[in-house]
Amino acid sequence: MDAGKLYFHKRAVRIKTAERTVYFSDGTKIIYDELYSSIPLPEMVGMMEEVPKKIKDKARRLEHTGVALVSIGLRACKQEKLWFYIYDTDIMAARAYMPSVKSSGNVPVGCASIQFEIYFNATNSEAPEEKIAVENCLYALEKLGIAGVADVLFTDFRVMPYGNVICLRQTEKDLPEIISWLLGAKVTPIGRFGKWEYLWSDQAFMSGYRAIRNGNILMPYRR
Ligand SMILES: Cc1cc2nc3c(=O)[nH]c(=O)nc-3n(C[C@H](O)[C@H](O)[C@H](O)COP(=O)(O)OP(=O)(O)OC[C@H]3O[C@@H](n4cnc5c(N)ncnc54)[C@H](O)[C@@H]3O)c2cc1C
């Protein structure tokens, strides 16, 4: 593989740090000079060879949420909040976001869109079923006075395996040890699930930028 090129649709499956080699699911491999990884920590540690059992065990007990996203296209809407939290115990979603409030260019003229976020503990439970999740979000639409079911043009359901990291007391103890071991193996974790921190997208991006800048690969950052 050529340096400086971006490769898409590659899934890393194994890493041999002693040989500085990453193996991909399509049978290809790459030898690296420096490795920066935004792959979720438990998966990253799981695919590395030569990891002490103590570190593997610590990485395995990191917990995170997954998130089921129910997106709804509407022909009309009575709500104009960009995003809001939901505390009703009969509504599965904890938060909703309206791309059509962000920009009217996100929807056809006169229409609206909303995305409900249903979080679940991905470490020890399954994502909600599509039918149950979508029905509950349609119920939420009406209950919260956002729109009537008759206004719904379409729904979309998808599950992201990583939503947020879960901060437990044990995480505070385990995380520094895992990261310190990775750095010792010349792997720099970056991003939300690489660093296992509640980072927003700009912070996730900058964590990678800063790590690489410190490794002197990029030009110094200029404001
Ligand atoms: C529902 C939701 C709403 C959010 N809203 C906002 C918002 O409004 N504003 C904001 O700033 N932030 C928001 N965030 C947070 C934001 O999405 C994250 O901070 C950001 O995406 C983290 O970027 P990242 O590159 O670190 O991780 P990710 O975006 O998770 O990227 C990691 C990548 O690694 C890939 N990967 C995993 N395993 C492998 C492997 N073995 N081989 C190759 N690739 C692999 C994954 O496919 C993924 O593409 C939101 C998050 C969620 C879940």
* Cβ of 119 below 6 Å from ligand 1: no
Same domain, 69 and 148: yes
* Cβ of 8 below 6 Å from ligand 1: no
* Cβ of 38 below 6 Å from ligand 1: yes
The answer to whether 34 and 124 are in contact (CB under 8 A) is no
Residue-range definition of the domain harbouring residue 196? 12-62+166-214
Within a domain: 5: no
* Cβ of 64 below 6 Å from ligand 1: no
Same domain, 171 and 140: no
Tell me the percentage of the chain whose pLDDT exceeds 90.
Answer: 86
**Boundary (domain end) residue, out of 120, 140, 160:** 160
Determine the residue of 84, 102, 200 to mutate for testing ligand 1's pocket, defined as the one with the most ligand atoms within 8 A of the Cβ atom: 200
Task: State the Cα angle at 114 between 108 and 120, rounded to 5°.
Answer: 150
* Cβ of 204 below 6 Å from ligand 1: yes
Q: What is the pLDDT of residues 116-147, one digit of tens each?
A: 999 999 988 899 999 999 999 999 999 999 99
Same domain, 119 and 148: yes
* Cβ of 163 below 6 Å from ligand 1: yes
Mean pLDDT of 145-164: 96
| Closest to 12 in 3D by CA, of 53, 179, 32, 33 | 32
pLDDT of res. 216? 45
Q: Does residue 3 carry a pLDDT above 70?
A: no
**Lateral strand order in the sheet of 12-16:** 12-16, 21-24, 29-31
Name, in order, each residue with C-beta under 8 angstroms of 182's C-beta and a sequence gap of 6 or more: 44, 45, 188, 189
Could you tell me the CATH number of the domain that includes residue 153?
3.30.70.1990
153 φ, ψ (degrees, to nearest 5): -95, -40
Same domain, 57 and 72: no
Determine the residue of 84, 166, 192 to mutate for testing ligand 1's pocket, defined as the one with the most ligand atoms within 8 A of the Cβ atom: 192
Q: Report the DSSP pairing between strands 83-85 and 95-97.
A: antiparallel
Same domain, 69 and 154: yes
The rounded Å distance from CA 192 to ligand 1 centre is 7
Q: How many domains does the chain have?
A: 2
